[in-house]
Amino acid sequence: MSGKLVVVGTPIGNLSDFSPRGVRALSEADFIAAEDTRVTRKLLTHFGIHKPMISYFEHNKYARGQTICARIEAGETCALVSDAGMPAISDPGELLVAQCAERGIPVTVVPGPSAVVSALAVSGLPTGRFAFEGFLSVNRKNRKERLQELKAERRTLVFYEAPHKLAATLADLLQALGDRRVAVVREMTKIHEEVLRTTLSQAAERYAGGGAKGEFVLVVEGAPAPEPRPAPRAEAAALARRYEEQGLSASEAARRAAAETGVKKNEIYRAVVSDRPDGGQGRKPDETD
């Protein structure tokens, strides 16, 4: 008999979001690995599930992971849950899944609510491409370096943040990234759910005094597309000469080349006529800059 690890997504607030398949997975597991057994006990009690649990969290994940893997290899099925949302996403369960993969232990998943995609969906910002950053480092140096790395990231950025760190994080985002659009999403699926669509400067001002309550997801607009770099003058001049060969005047050729390359018309015109034997002295009346 072979066991397996089942990664089970749990509600991020509203218990009604727990799927029938999730209930069945917990009911059929031999034991449950939980980030906080007290939190998971409330979920189990609500659905009438009675299963033994083992704590699995950040500070015991290495040793406890070995224990869990050994039990699975002995034939037991373990359901992995976090306090809320998908285990292994910005969560200690990431290591347990990796340990199982290394040992050839089967891993299956029961999808469930995710704060990342839920906040992104209601943000009003581009959702086609995004980068999930989780919680920023509390180390000031590491945080500053990471934000500098993200400054040019064009994808929408998603961060988690605790209420007591929100003001500082918004201020850091504003300083590092500039004033961009942001959706401050609070207490998703709960009674006091709130989506504030604003800018980083306005959000930083709003929460500067502290006092934020609830769990937050910050969805930040990506960096703007870089300004197109003007083509080198030589390339622009070559383009203008091709237009001249098609019958256009030097002035019109320079105008079209300027529109396509971003190089100034006058610079292109001077480059074109200076290559002529007369240095442009014999230009026609319409060939002016």
Alpha-carbon span 54 to 31, nearest angstrom: 7
Cα–Cα distance measured from residue 50 to residue 259, given in angstroms and rounded to the nearest whole number: 72
Place of tokens 């979920």: 43
What is the reported pTM? Answer: 0.77
- Cα–Cα separations (whole angstroms), residue 227 to 223, 224, 230, 236, 262: 12, 9, 9, 18, 11
**Same-domain pairing of 248 and 189:** no
Residue-wise pLDDT tens for the chain (289 aa)?
Answer: 579 999 999 999 999 999 999 999 999 999 999 999 999 999 999 999 999 999 999 999 999 999 999 999 999 999 999 999 999 998 999 999 999 999 999 999 999 999 999 999 999 999 999 999 999 999 999 999 999 999 999 999 999 999 999 999 999 999 999 999 999 999 999 999 999 999 999 999 999 988 899 999 999 999 998 877 767 888 888 889 899 899 999 899 999 999 988 889 998 988 888 867 655 554 444 444 4
Same domain, 206 and 240: no
CA distance 41 to 269: 78
165 and 254 part of one domain = no
Output the domain CATH number for residue 152: 3.30.950.10
211 and 132, same domain (yes or no): yes
Q: Which domain holds residue 242?
A: 227-289
